Amino acid sequence: MLRIDIISVKPDLIKSPFEGSIVKRAIDKNYFEIYFHDLKDYSNYKRKQVDDYQFGGGSGMVLMIEPIKNCIDFLCKQRNYDEIIYMTPDAKILDQKTSNRLSTLENLIILCGHYKGVDQRVRDQLITMEISIGDYVLSGGELPAAVLCDSLARLVPGAIGDSTSALTDSFQDNLLAPPVYTRPANFENLKVPSVLLSGNKKEIENWKENKSIERTKQIRPGIIK
Ligand code: SAH
């Protein structure tokens, strides 16, 4: 069972990805638990303030350390967390290997930044791991956190009906996935490769592997090890 606690100033932004599909099934079957925490509930400031201007000047508000620390302390009193993750564009980019490892853990906190980000002291003192989802900047960490959670939920044993399915996706084995086809076998003279209809398991496996290698060389040569 993987439990994830998400801390955010806009928790409503992140709920819908968990309301359907594989992720919902993982939650319904109790393979995966997810909780949302509104940072404003942990603010002791007037009007539930959670952000303030930057010291030294510069545009953009910064999330303050105190409400974040209150929330993380509150959670850490109740259970041990394996990682306390901050989603941020200036970090190592998420890859399948990292998702595989995180999916085997029990308790994770994910902190979503907003505006200009969080006070650096949060990153120095409270966070154990930072993750980016790519070299582009979004307005908040909510979508990145949803991306991370989805990639973990589908790996938790039992979440996907056929557990081998997640292992045949792209990036497992450092290869992109082969193309896939379904009925009809002939659509307006566009035919499915005949080997897939042959019933010969070994030939099909070889074909898939060759296609994987071919596509990876063409599209993402850098990931082949
Ligand atoms: N000032 C920061 C960007 C802040 S974007 C900088 O220049 O690096 C606001 C918030 O959105 C961040 O705190 C982070 O939580 C989230 N975010 C934006 N882009 C992201 C990305 N590519 N990966 C992960 N989180 C991201």
Which tokens is 21 given?
């599909």
Model confidence at 197, pLDDT cuts 50, 70, 90, reads very high
User: Does residue 136 line the site of ligand 1, with CB under 6 A?
Assistant: yes
Q: Do 108 and 102 form a contact (C-beta atoms < 8 A)?
A: yes
- In this structure, the residue with its CA closest to atom 16 of ligand 1 is 141
Token pair 């308790």: residue = 107
Q: Do 92 and 129 form a contact (C-beta atoms < 8 A)?
A: no
Instruction: Determine the CATH number of domain 170-223.
Output: 1.10.1270.20
Q: Which residues on neighbouring strands pair with residue 114, listed in sequence order? A: 140
Mean pLDDT of 64-73: 98
Residue 33 has pLDDT above 90, yes or no: yes
Model confidence at 21, pLDDT cuts 50, 70, 90, reads confident
User: Does residue 212 line the site of ligand 1, with CB under 6 A?
Assistant: no
Q: Tens of pLDDT along 87-115?
A: 999 999 999 999 999 999 999 999 999 99
Strand, helix or coil at 166?
helix
| Model pTM score | 0.94
Atom number in ligand 1 closest to CA 133 = 23
User: Does residue 113 line the site of ligand 1, with CB under 6 A?
Assistant: yes
Q: Do 92 and 69 form a contact (C-beta atoms < 8 A)?
A: no
Atom number in ligand 1 closest to CA 117 = 13
**CA distances from residue 205 to 9, 171, 175, 183, 215 in whole angstroms, order as listed:** 48, 17, 14, 19, 15
Atom number in ligand 1 closest to CA 140 = 11
- Diameter of the chain measured on Cα atoms: 70
Mean pLDDT of 36-43: 98
The residue extents of the domains of the chain are 2-153, 170-223
- How remote is the CA of residue 112 from the centroid of ligand 1, in Å? 8
- In this structure, the residue with its CA closest to atom 22 of ligand 1 is 89
Residue 12 has pLDDT above 70, yes or no: yes
* Superfamily the domain 2-153 falls into: SPOUT methyltransferase, trefoil knot domain (3.40.1280.10)
- How remote is the CA of residue 93 from the centroid of ligand 1, in Å? 12
Residue 147 has pLDDT above 70, yes or no: yes
Model confidence at 163, pLDDT cuts 50, 70, 90, reads low
Mean pLDDT of 198-220: 97
First to last CA, the chain: 31
- Quote the CA–CA distance of 18 and 24 in Å, as a whole number: 5
- Quote the CA–CA distance of 129 and 99 in Å, as a whole number: 13
- In this structure, the residue with its CA closest to atom 25 of ligand 1 is 88
